[in-house]
Amino acid sequence: MGAQSQICKWGSSLAVRIPKPIAEQWGVHEGSAVEMVSRGNQVILRKKTYSLAEMLATVTDENLHPEVDAGPAQGKEAW
């Protein structure tokens, strides 16, 4: 899907608006993380993906949540 857009000023930076149909196709919304890569005279914009290793690398003793007791096993759960 191709679309035209314009570069706008956003604070001291520049911004490109993503048309609604493309945002819906990507499944992105305000606050979604994206990566921008420059290749020659092209700019490639893609949704940011995270690996489990990257996410676990950010876990520290300070931000680790304690275990939560969900009560006794229900059904055929094995603990």
Residue 79 counted as domain residue: no
pLDDT over threshold 90, residue 14: yes
The answer to whether position 71 is within a domain reads: no
19 within some domain:
yes
Confidence at residue 79, expressed as pLDDT on a 0 to 100 scale: 64
Query: Among residues 52, 35, 53, which one has the least CA distance to residue 44?
Result: 35
Query: Is 47 domain-assigned?
Result: yes
User: For the domain that residue 19 is a member of, what is the CATH number?
Assistant: 2.10.260.10
Q: Write down the pLDDT at residue 30.
A: 93
d(CA 3, CA 45): 14
Whether 26 is in a domain gets the answer yes
**Tell me, what's the pLDDT at 3?**
79
Residues with Cβ within 8 Å of residue 15, at least 6 apart in sequence: 7, 8, 9
**Model confidence over 28-69: pLDDT tens digits?**
999 999 999 999 999 999 888 889 999 999 999 999 999 999
Instruction: Tell me whether residue 73 is in a domain.
Output: no
* Alpha-carbon gap, residue 35 to 47, rounded angstroms: 6
Domain tally, the chain: 1
Could you tell me the residue range of the domain that residue 44 belongs to? Answer: 7-57
Residue partners of 34: CB distance under 8 A and separation at least 6: 28, 45, 46, 47, 48
